[in-house]
Amino acid sequence: MQKPVWHGSRMSQRLVKSVLCAVVLGVLGIAVFACSAGTSSTGSTEPQKQAQVTSPTSGLQITATISAVTLGDECGGGAAGGFAPSADCAPQAGTRPAADGGASSSPAPGGCGGAFCQQSNMQIAFTATAGTQSAKVEVVDVTLLDAATGKIVDTLKATKPQVWSGNAYSAWDQTIKPAGELKASYDLSAPAWSTLSGSDTRLAYSTRYKLHVTLRIDGVQIVLESTDLSREPQVAT
């Protein structure tokens, strides 16, 4: 005797297969979208230790990272009142180079050095791929955060962009040339230490902070994040 054919069961199986195929295709579609979304040419608001962007105008691929930060004060160039820039003297022209091409802790004659003030400063390293056009950098904002809570505690101002030229820092037009590495330096306004520490000045030195730096490179915006930081102690030199 011929076995009965259950058309309903076959239809159910076909329906299940169709649903499974739709689910698989949907998952694959999401995966493709996830891989294609957030490309370097569109920028990102997510803080990153190292960020890479592709310039929409020049096509350069540029990598940026915060290489050093000094949380100190505003020293006005280090000339008056016995004040001097930070021990690393990063933004001051005339400093002797360190072994890695960064700022030196040994000031050159006529450069920084002296007494108590340490200039707030940040250094950013850039690398660029080969190309025919340069890219333009702009510091959009600099925020100071409590490293423990992630709360923004102050907004700092970046000024005096300078670039390492091999033996000293000099004024920089914030242009990144193709196929090279660049070490940039900015003076920062001093955090409001009296507000941050209140009546207990020790809090300003014991609290850990992070710096978020928003850059715009040829219109593409990225956010760099520093390692944990603390206020530089005031020491006589």
Residue 234: is its pLDDT beyond 60?
Answer: yes
3-state secondary structure of 102: coil
User: Which of the pair, 102 or 212, is modelled with greater confidence?
Assistant: 212
pTM: 0.69
Weakest mean pLDDT among 27-36, 139-148, 197-206, 224-233? 27-36
Residue 187: is its pLDDT beyond 90?
Answer: yes
From the CA atom positions of the chain, what is the Rg in Å? 26
- Sequence-distant (6+) residues with CB within 8 A of 47 are 212, 223, 224, 225
Give the domain ranges of the chain.
Answer: 1-37, 40-225
Whole-number pLDDT of residue 117: 87
Weakest mean pLDDT among 69-73, 100-104, 229-233? 100-104
3-state secondary structure of 194: helix
CA count, 13 A, side-chain hemisphere, 78: 25
Query: Tens digit of pLDDT for each residue in 76-111?
Result: 754 333 333 333 444 444 444 444 444 444 443 334
Separation CA 208–CA 163 (nearest Å) = 28
Weakest mean pLDDT among 83-92, 146-155, 157-166? 83-92
User: Which of the pair, 144 or 12, is modelled with greater confidence?
Assistant: 144
Whole-number pLDDT of residue 210: 98
Whole-number pLDDT of residue 12: 52
CB 182 within 8 A of CB 163: yes
Residue 144: is its pLDDT beyond 80?
Answer: yes
Query: Tens digit of pLDDT for each residue in 10-63?
Result: 545 554 455 444 544 454 443 333 333 333 566 789 999 999 999 999 899 999
Separation CA 157–CA 139 (nearest Å) = 9
3-state secondary structure of 111: coil
**Maximum mean pLDDT: which of 23-32, 151-160, 194-203:** 151-160
